[in-house]
Structure 1
Amino acid sequence: MTVVFSWLVATFITIPILGYIVFFVISKQITKNHRKAVKASIDLSTILFICSVHYLIKAIWGLSLIWVIILTMLIMAIIVVLVHYKVKEEIVLDKIFKGFWRVNFLLFFCAYLLLVLYGMIVRVKDVF
Structure 2
Amino acid sequence: MSSAFAWFIATVVTLPIIGWYLAYIITVKITKKKSYSVRLAADLSLVLFISAVYFISYEIWDQSFLWIILIAFFLVAICFTVVHWKVANDIHFVRLVRGIWRFNFILFFIIYLVLSTYGFVLRLIS
TM-score of the superposed pair, with normalisation by structure 2: 0.96
- CA deviation profile, 1:90-122 (whole Å, cap 9, x unmatched): 101111111111011011000000001100111
Partner of 1:111: 111
- Matched residue, 1:56: 56
**Cα distance, 1:88 vs. partner?**
1.6
Does 1:70 pair with 2:52?
no
- Residue 45 in structure 1 maps to residue 45 in structure 2: yes
1:27-69: per-residue Cα shift (whole Å, max 9, x none)? 1011110111011000001100000000000000001110111
Calculate percent identity across the aligned residue pairs: 37
Structure 2: 5+ residue runs without aligned partners? Answer: none
Counterpart in 1 of 2:99?
A: 99
Measure, in 2, the Cα distance between the counterparts of 1:35 and 1:87.
26
| Partners of 1:77 and 1:56 in 2: CA distance | 24
- Which deviates more, 110-119 or 3-12? 3-12
Count of aligned pairs? 126
Secondary structure, aligned partner of 2:55: helix
TM-score (norm 1): 0.95
Q: Within 1, Cα distance between the matches of 2:10 and 2:23?
A: 16
Q: Which blocks of at least 5 consecutive residues in structure 1 are unaligned?
A: none
Residue in structure 1 matched with residue 86 of structure 2 by the alignment: 86
Q: How big is the alpha-carbon RMSD for the aligned residues of Structure 1 and Structure 2?
A: 0.8
Following superposition, which runs of at least 4 residues in structure 1 exceed 6 angstroms of deviation? none
Q: Which whole-Å CA distance do the structure 1 matches of 2:89 and 2:26 have between them?
A: 37
Report the AA paired with residue 109 of structure 1.
Answer: F
Partner letter of residue 115 of structure 1?
L
Aligned to 1:10: 10
